[in-house]
């Protein structure tokens, strides 16, 4: 099973700079997650001012640059995990949030072609 875990960001509240201790602890956590095969990819997300919305309705495209005044919740960062169960994904998210000192992480199962193959 694959899960996309993402944290919720708020551009109106700047985050404090991470301490060297946090960098070290998060580095160990990431190394463990990559080595175990759970963490497939991870990254941060640029501020909404740098975002782009592409829409397609009624045969017409619309491209709009950020910021988005209607946005109430923004993705702050993400991680793609490969786990054996929903519970394992939750456990990894809990560990990340504890190391990070709090926050909110949302998990969504991700499906790929391998999930629709016979016997897959």
Q: Could you report the per-residue pLDDT of 57-116, keeping only the tens digit for each?
A: 999 999 988 876 666 677 778 999 999 999 999 999 999 999 988 888 999 999 988 888
- Is residue 18 one of the residues assigned to a domain? yes
Question: What is the number of structural domains in the chain?
Answer: 1
| 44-73 tens-digit pLDDT | 888 778 888 888 999 999 998 887 666 667
Residue 78, in any domain of the structure: yes
> Checking phi first, is residue 83 left (phi over 0); if not, alpha (psi -120 to 50) or beta?
beta
Give the domain range for residue 30: 2-115
CA distance 9 to 12: 9
Model confidence band, residue 15 (pLDDT cutoffs 50, 70, 90): low
Residue 90 belongs to some domain of the structure: yes
In a domain, 120, yes or no: no
């Amino acid at each position: 099973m694959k899960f996309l875990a993402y944290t919720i960001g708020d551009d109106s509240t700047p985050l404090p700079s991470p301490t060297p201790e946090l960098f070290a602890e998060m580095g160990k956590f990431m190394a463990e997650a990559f080595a175990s095969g759970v963490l497939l990819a991870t990254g941060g997300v640029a501020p909404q001012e740098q975002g782009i919305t592409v829409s397609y309705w009624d045969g017409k495209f619309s491209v709009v640059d950020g910021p988005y005044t209607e946005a109430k919740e923004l993705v702050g960062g993400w991680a793609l995990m490969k786990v054996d169960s929903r519970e394992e994904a939750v456990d990894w998210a809990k560990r990340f949030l504890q190391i990070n000192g709090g926050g909110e992480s949302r998990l969504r199962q991700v499906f790929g072609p391998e999930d629709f193959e016979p016997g897959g």
